[in-house]
Amino acid sequence: MNLQELALKIDQHQQTGVEMDKITIENSRLTVEDAYKIQELAVDEAIERGDSLVGWKMGLTSLAKQKSVGVDEAIYGRLTKSMELSEPVLHMKGLIHPRVEPELAFVLNKDLSGPDVTVRDVWAATECIFPALEVIDSRYKNFSFTLVDVVADNASSTKFYLGNQAFSPYHTSWEKMKVSMYRNGEKLQSGLGSDVLEHPVKSVVELVKMLSNSGHSLKAGMVVLAGGITEAVNIYAGDRIEIYFDDLAEVKLEVKE
Ligand code: 0L1
Ligand code: MG
């Protein structure tokens, strides 16, 4: 299969929520660069149907997460308008085996591009930060994949929700922020802002550098999910997720049929 055919196949599984075999089983020579091209082509299909690119996400930004899926580098994915939840309610229809994770979402007010971008550039281009959550859902059977597979599947991007409070980037030391995640009242995960590449701002810097390798950049108004602050948690219909970002904010999610 060529890259476009693989993109069409993945796009179909992303739309229908039907699980699939890893693409690397029958296409063992694909490179990570090919996988990013497949990701782009698949998202282009959604854009042709009327969706739009609203931002980017970094994935696998903690050592723990890289180990748990057997890779040794961070990856990025594309966020589209249809992925954004306007309310903290998730419907399971069309999803395969979703998981949720706490995130910090940077909203930009300036474009950012190039391999020489600095932490200072990112702060100067950040309008605000939302405590947020991401719902990931691999299209691959058993949530099992190689680096190439997961990149092609848009880094498992599925849905995201920005909490209802936005903060100035200077409001707190984001790397020191403690985050805990509860499912149905039981604490399942906790982490620190520094679990995201030592500081979430560094994740945005890394994203800009990675994008510059393929001629892409961040635009003013875009959202960037910096990376999961804890491991992701499986969710099922009827679940209620509560995420506490220190005493700063609480982001909830109700999971329905
Ligand atoms: O957002 C993430 O860190 C997920 C990246 C893809 C790996 C996964 O699906 O767990
Ligand atoms: Mg994530």
Ordered by start, the domain boundaries in the chain are 3-256
Protein residue closest via CA to atom 2 of ligand 1: 59
228 alpha carbon – ligand 1 mean position (Å): 8
48 alpha carbon – ligand 2 mean position (Å): 25
**Per-residue confidence at 204, pLDDT binned at 50, 70, 90?**
very high
Protein residue closest via CA to atom 4 of ligand 1: 59
Protein residue closest via CA to atom 9 of ligand 1: 156
Pairwise CA distance, residues 192 & 176, whole Å: 6
Pairwise CA distance, residues 172 & 201, whole Å: 13
pLDDT at 208 over 90: yes
pLDDT of residue 186: 98
The mean pLDDT of 144-164, rounded to a whole number, is 97
The topology (CATH level 3) of 3-256 is Fumarylacetoacetate hydrolase; domain 2 (3.90.850)
145 alpha carbon – ligand 1 mean position (Å): 11
Q: Which atom of ligand 1 is nearest to the CA of 143?
A: 9
- 68-77, 89-98, 105-114, 150-159: the lowest-pLDDT one: 68-77
Tokens linked to 55: 């931002």
Q: Which atom of ligand 1 is nearest to the CA of 61?
A: 3
Average pLDDT, the chain: 97
Protein residue closest via CA to atom 5 of ligand 1: 59
**Per-residue confidence at 42, pLDDT binned at 50, 70, 90?**
very high
Pairwise CA distance, residues 29 & 112, whole Å: 33
The mean pLDDT of 36-55, rounded to a whole number, is 98
pLDDT of residue 66: 87
Q: Which ligand is nearest to the CA of 99?
A: 1
pTM: 0.97
Pairwise CA distance, residues 150 & 11, whole Å: 13
CB-defined site of ligand 1, < 6 Å:
57, 59-60, 65, 69, 134, 136, 138, 150, 155-156, 227-228
**Per-residue confidence at 248, pLDDT binned at 50, 70, 90?**
very high
Pocket perturbation via mutation, ligand 1, pick of 67, 69, 133, 161 by most ligand atoms within 8 A of CB: 69
Convert the pLDDT of each residue in 50-83 to its tens digit: 999 999 999 999 887 888 778 888 999 999 999 9
As a whole-number percent, the residues of the chain with pLDDT over 70 amount to 100
pLDDT of residue 71: 85
Q: Which atom of ligand 1 is nearest to the CA of 60?
A: 3
Question: In this structure, how many other beta carbons lie within 10 angstroms of the beta carbon of residue 63?
Answer: 11
Convert the pLDDT of each residue in 183-192 to its tens digit: 999 999 999 9
**Per-residue confidence at 178, pLDDT binned at 50, 70, 90?**
very high
DSSP labels, the chain: --HHHHHHHHHHHHHHT--B--GGGT-TT--HHHHHHHHHHHHHHHHHTT--EEEEEEES-SHHHHHHHT--S-EEEEEEGGGB-SSSEEE-TT-SS-EEEEEEEEEESS-B-STT--HHHHHHTEEEEEEEEEEE--SBGGG---HHHHHHTGGGEEEEEE-S--B-TTSS-GGG-EEEEEETTEEEEEEEGGGTTTSHHHHHHHHHHHHHHTT--B-TT-EEE---SS--EE--TT-EEEEEETTTEEEEEEEE-
pLDDT of residue 64: 76
226-229-235 Cα angle (round to 5): 105
pLDDT of residue 187: 98
The mean pLDDT of 31-39, rounded to a whole number, is 98
